[in-house]
Amino acid sequence: MSELGEVLELLHTSAVRWRTIRMAGYQWFDPGQAVAAFLSRHPDAVSHGPRNAGPPAGPTIERWRLWIERPDLKRAEFEAGGETVSVVIAGNRWCSWSPSRGARTDSGENSSHGTGPGEPLLWTAMLLPALDVETRGRTTLLGRAAISLEARPRGEDDGGSLVHLGMGAERYELVVDAERGILLRSEALLDGRAFKVVEVEEVAFDQDLSPEMFSLTAPSGEGFEAERSHRQLPFAELSSAVPFTVLVPEHPDMVHEDGSIESPDPRLGRPLAVRFSYERQQGQPGPVPFVAFAESAEPMPELKDGWRTIDDLRVRDEGSERRPRYRVVFQRRGTHVEMQSAELALEEVLALARSLVPLPSGLEHAAESPG
């Protein structure tokens, strides 16, 4: 078998080459170069921050640890946002703890929880359809036999399996464990400059992991609170499901989607809220104009910077001249409203905000289809 054939078989069969794994490592990330990489592949994309935002922060290093026992037990500890998150996953159930969010658990509604940057190094079979791979010779890493690879994205849309390795890279330098087929190192590059590195610093396979490894106790001893749930509802039922007035545009020329009810999260200051959206149907390809609504009886958390006031509306510009995006917050009839729009002119967004009327309980809104 050729060296390339050996590598492809390793990547394809890695998932069956180990029973348990314990590993630790780091992620190095350069947000400025990452933005350049993303925009190189998606030049029409826009930032979700205000136009006058400062330059991206400098490179960061975040540590992570991961334990997995097949078929469905996982524990991870990883740094994110300046704090360490701990999570235990058993099948489709999970519990986690972090200083900012406290002790959380799943809501029983098919919710999920991430495990940090380490686990994608194990998803090697998913990479094969997305990459053209060339071998660059044998090497060693962590005292283990390995194979160096150079890989390039095959298609334009790298938002799937490659996003965890670095979206928008023109090439990846990978190191594959020659026995187990996992990635020991991944480096994403644009114009010869790295913007994301994920590397294993410790690894052990097929050790017996104690049951205590897959249990989690909050350091403060607090109980685990169910994660904020999202309950989907037909549009006509939104008004009767919440104790405040649901407001909708009076005469929109867009089609509404079904809505959802979000349970409150006191720790993060998020109240009970209803969410729904409208989009404008088009007979041609391209970005779809839409506006999304979040409404509550209480104020919702909002971003600090970049706001201006137009009459009684607070407006935040989050797009560009080519791709307009706006966020608008205000209060009507005792309801706090946040609107987020895309591909709509500011004048149209403001007109929609000023046209809001109560959604009758149990009745469909008039906007079923344009015209």
User: Cα 205 to the chain's mean position, in Å?
Assistant: 29
Q: Per residue in 14-66, pLDDT tens?
A: 999 999 999 999 999 999 898 888 777 766 555 444 444 555 678 999 999 99
φ, ψ for residue 72 (rounded to 5)?
-150, 25
Contact 225, 96 (CB under 8 A): no
Contact 79, 65 (CB under 8 A): no
Count other Cβ atoms within 10 Å, centred on residue 265: 18
> What confidence category does residue 363 fall into, taking pLDDT thresholds of 50, 70 and 90?
very low
pLDDT at 247 over 50: yes
Domain 3-214: CATH superfamily, name plus number? Lipoprotein localisation LolA/LolB/LppX (2.50.20.10)
The pLDDT assigned to 369 comes to 39
Question: Chain-wide mean pLDDT for the chain?
Answer: 87
Q: Work out whether strand 225-226 and strand 102-105 pair parallel, antiparallel, or are unpaired.
A: parallel
The pLDDT assigned to 229 comes to 65
The pLDDT assigned to 236 comes to 81
The pLDDT assigned to 156 comes to 62
> What confidence category does residue 122 fall into, taking pLDDT thresholds of 50, 70 and 90?
very high
> What confidence category does residue 159 fall into, taking pLDDT thresholds of 50, 70 and 90?
low
Alpha-carbon span 108 to 336, nearest angstrom: 29
Give the predicted TM-score (pTM) of the model: 0.71
The pLDDT assigned to 224 comes to 84
> What confidence category does residue 4 fall into, taking pLDDT thresholds of 50, 70 and 90?
very high
Q: Per residue in 252-273, pLDDT tens?
A: 888 887 789 988 877 778 899 9
Q: Per residue in 188-237, pLDDT tens?
A: 999 999 999 999 999 999 999 999 999 998 887 778 877 766 778 888 88
Nearest to 92 by CA among 65, 66, 74, 68: 74
The percentage of the chain sitting over the pLDDT mark of 70, rounded to a whole number, equals 88
Alpha-carbon span 54 to 39, nearest angstrom: 17
Where is average pLDDT lowest: 58-62, 70-74, 285-289? 285-289
Instruction: Pick the more confident residue, 179 or 112.
Output: 179
The pLDDT assigned to 326 comes to 96
Alpha-carbon span 346 to 367, nearest angstrom: 21
Domains of the chain by residue range: 3-214, 228-358
The pLDDT assigned to 371 comes to 37
What mean pLDDT do residues 119-129 have? 93
What mean pLDDT do residues 108-136 have? 89
The pLDDT assigned to 283 comes to 67
The pLDDT assigned to 228 comes to 64
Contact 60, 66 (CB under 8 A): no
What mean pLDDT do residues 325-331 have? 95
Alpha-carbon span 147 to 127, nearest angstrom: 16
The pLDDT assigned to 54 comes to 53
pLDDT at 151 over 70: yes
The pLDDT assigned to 50 comes to 47
pLDDT at 367 over 50: no
